Structures are given as structure tokens and as C-alpha cells.
Amino acid sequence: MNDALNALQPYPFERLRALLAGVQPDAGKTPIALSIGEPKHPSPAFVGEALTANLDQLAVYPTTQGIPALREAIARWCERRFSVAAGTLDPASQVLPVNGTREALFSFTQTVVQRGVEGLVVSPNPFYQIYEGAALLAGATPHYLPCLAENGFNPDFDAVAPEIWARSQILFLCSPGNPTGALVPLATLKKLIALADQYDFVIAADECYSELYFDEQTPPPGLLTACAELGRTDFKRCVVFHSLSKRSNLPGLRSGFVAGDAQLLKAFLLYRTYHGCAMPVQTQLASIAAWNDEVHVRANRDLYREKFDAVLDILQPVLEVGRPDGGFYLWPKTPIDDQTFARDLFAQQHVTVVPGSYLSREVDGFNPGAGRVRMALVAPLADCVEAAQRIRNYLQSR
């Protein structure tokens, strides 16, 4: 067996199940889960229609690189969304369809990490656990950068020692962040690109929440935006990961893409060819329909705005919680330790949240997620409002 498997930590939801095991919640209350970040808004009907209209493609072996029409649709979407100059992003060499960002983040790490050199994979802390698992199974060492309130829940990149950058092979970014909802500022992205050039590491920007934001007039920038403003048309050392899961409420479609540095994507394509993870053609054709439409995406944002407004009105008088920059999570500070908060809330109100310490790693005796919980506002509005009222009742009864 691969010894590195022994280094993998339990997934947060395994730990949550263990925490709540044996707890008997109030049987008179229906369960409300604010724990798993699975979108619950309706999927666009036209995407399902495109999928079923192309079921004859079940008889076709898909190629790892994907069909040209999908890569073209993705490239054009990147131009519209991130102010990339027309024709700058080459669909043939700088775009690669993937089966969701989770699979791609993991396999990309296996492609990039050079074994036997004591390399680091740097990530925010708290973080999406795939970053850590991918690093360990690639033979690298994870290095965690705390995301604290005093720094806007972003890492303090200025505090990173030169020797850490020198050993870095991949820097993972997540913007808007999971679970904090924080955006990495455009100026910071440009600074990180300069550091990547200086120390020769790859920036892997997980932007799967990029289309969930509050100001319709000011879409958040991404790593491609920074490259465009710098005139970095080769996107050297920069790759972005996007998905239809959150943007279009299509988590079951398993459809996303990686875009950026052509040299990196050439190696990634080679890895994926052996990995055997080509996207089915019917899925690709349905994905084209989704990437070409923004009406359903704006409607999706409207639903989240409504939920955030309603829930924050209920919670802010009793809980230290703010509106995030983007995404669909709240990251409140708890008045007691986060595990006790999550367990007691479940027992008394039948509402499930994730302890923040389960989403973070302790470094030098400090866990930056401790004393917070993650609440995913993915349920219907009425359920989110009911959950917020129950949380308020729980806090007021303490």
C-alpha cells in the first residue's frame, strides 16, 4: 500500500458524524443541514435538455482534451468574465475541461509536484481539504498560511519567509474563500505573480465560487484578470480552476475547466490521458449551454442575496457574523468552543453546522478555525430563515 495514505486526515464530515454520534436531537424539529456546501437551487432546465438531447453520444469514447466547441465556449466566457483580451486565451492549448474542480485540483498537484526535493504545497488555513491530501499523495509537504479576521480572512503573504517561497512548488488560492468567503485583492494577485516568477512556483487559483457575489456591478477579479492587467498573455505559472457546480447549480454534472499556462496544461493533459478521466461528450455539450448563458447565473445570485439578507438580519443581533465577499458560507465567531456549539445546536435545535477547527490545521499550537463554525446557506430560503431563528433561540437560551 501507498504509505502516504496513512498521512491523510479524516474528512471534516467524518469528524462531524463522530461528534454528533449518539446525540438525540429534538424529535419535534425537522432537521436542517447548514453543513455540506451542496447547491440546492434548481438546475437550469435547458442544461438537462441539452444533456438528454445528446444521449446518442453514449456510444462515443470522449477525448481527454475535450471537444473544440467546449474549449472555445470556455475561452470566450473567460474573456467576458475576467477582461481577458479577445484571442489571448487559446482554446487549443490553454483550456482543458475537467470533471469538476475537486478531481482537477488533486490530479494537477500530482502533475506539478517534483518528488524528492522536500517541496512545499502552500495553502490558506482554513482550506479545502483536497489541497492537503493532494500534496501528501504527491510527496510534498503542506504548508499552511492562517486566514485571520485582522487580515480580512486572507493569508498575510508579506509575512511568509523567503525560505518558504524558495521551497514552494504550488501556491493554492481560494477566492472567494471556503469557508471564509474572502476575496484575494487584485493587487495581491499581482504581487503573488511576481513572487511566483522570483521563486519559480505555480499559482493554482481555485475560483469555483467566483460567480457568487453581491454587487452585480462589480464582479470580483480573478487570477486571469491580474494576468490580463499585467500583459501576461502567456499566463506563465498561473492556472485557474472553475466549475459549473456552484455557478449553475450543477454539482452532479461534474463539469469544470482548468485554464492558463499552456506548458503546464500540456503536462496536465499527458497526466490526465493516463489517469483516464475524460468528460463524456453529452456532458460537454450540456456544459456549452451553461457557459454560454448568464441569465440563470444572475437569478442564482439573487436567491443567495435574499437568503443572506434575511439570515443576517436574524443572526447579527446575537452572533458575531458578517457578510462575506462572496460564496455561500457564513463564518461566525462562536461564544463558546466551536465543537460544543455545533453539538449543542444539533441537540437542541436539530441544525447542523461544521466546527471551524475541522476545516483548519493547528500550527504551533494555534488553529485559525477554532471558535468559528461554517454555515452553508444552500437550503431553500424558508429553511435558512428557520435555521437562523433556531440558532438565535439557542443563543438566547444560553
Of 293, 322, 341, which marks where a domain is finished?
Answer: 293
Which tens digits make up the pLDDT trace of 153-168? 999 999 999 999 999 9
Of 266, 293, 320, which marks where a domain is finished?
Answer: 293
The average pLDDT across 45-70 equals 97
Q: What pTM was computed for the model?
A: 0.97
- Which grid cell sits at 214? 453581491
Residues 289 and 300 in one domain: no
With a CB cutoff of 8 Å and minimum separation 6, the contacts of 199 are 162, 165, 166, 168
Residues 171 and 283 in one domain: yes
- pLDDT over 90, % of the chain: 98
The average pLDDT across 25-42 equals 94
Residues 140 and 183 in one domain: yes
Distances in whole angstroms, Cα of residue 368 to Cα of each of 18, 73, 119, 146, 345: 22, 39, 24, 6, 21
- One-letter amino acid for residue 189 of the chain: L
The count of C-alpha atoms lying within 13 angstroms of the C-alpha of 230, restricted to the half-sphere facing its C-beta, is 22
Q: What is the pLDDT, as a whole number, of residue 311?
A: 98
Which contacts of 155-163 are long-range, i.e. CB under 8 A and separated by 24 or more positions? 155/124, 155/125, 157/188, 157/191, 157/192, 157/195, 160/122, 162/199
Number of domains in the chain: 2
The average pLDDT across 222-244 equals 98
Residues 139 and 120 in one domain: yes
Of 293, 327, 348, which marks where a domain is finished?
Answer: 293
Do the beta carbons of residue 117 and residue 143 sit within 8 Å? no
Least reliable range by pLDDT among 23-27, 333-337, 342-346: 23-27
- One-letter amino acid for residue 239 of the chain: V
Q: What is the pLDDT, as a whole number, of residue 116?
A: 84
Residues 249 and 231 in one domain: yes
User: What CATH number is associated with residue 34?
Assistant: 3.90.1150.10
Place of cell 436531537: 25
Q: Is the dihedral of CA 31, 32, 37, 43 positive or negative?
A: positive
Q: What are residue 375's DSSP bridge partners?
A: 330
Residues 243 and 342 in one domain: no
Residues 220 and 310 in one domain: no
Q: What is the pLDDT, as a whole number, of residue 169?
A: 98
The average pLDDT across 172-177 equals 98
How far does CA 311 lie from the centroid of its chain? 22
pLDDT band of residue 207 (cuts 50, 70, 90) is very high
Residues 141 and 99 in one domain: yes
pLDDT at 398 > cutoff 90: no
The chain-wide mean pLDDT, for the chain, equals: 97
Judging by DSSP bridges, how do beta strands 256-260 and 238-243 pair with one another? antiparallel
Residues 278 and 131 in one domain: yes
Residues 19 and 70 in one domain: no
Residues 313 and 229 in one domain: no
Taking Cα atoms as reference points, which of 343, 377, 332 lies closest to residue 37? 377
User: What CATH number is associated with residue 74?
Assistant: 3.40.640.10
Least reliable range by pLDDT among 25-29, 156-160, 280-284: 25-29
The average pLDDT across 107-123 equals 95
Residues 22 and 100 in one domain: no
The average pLDDT across 192-198 equals 98
pLDDT at 27 > cutoff 90: no
Q: Which domain holds residue 142?
A: 46-293
- State the Cα–Cα distance between residues 140 and 169, nearest whole angstrom: 9
Q: What is the pLDDT, as a whole number, of residue 260?
A: 98
With a CB cutoff of 8 Å and minimum separation 6, the contacts of 91 are 68, 71, 72, 74, 75
pLDDT band of residue 53 (cuts 50, 70, 90) is very high
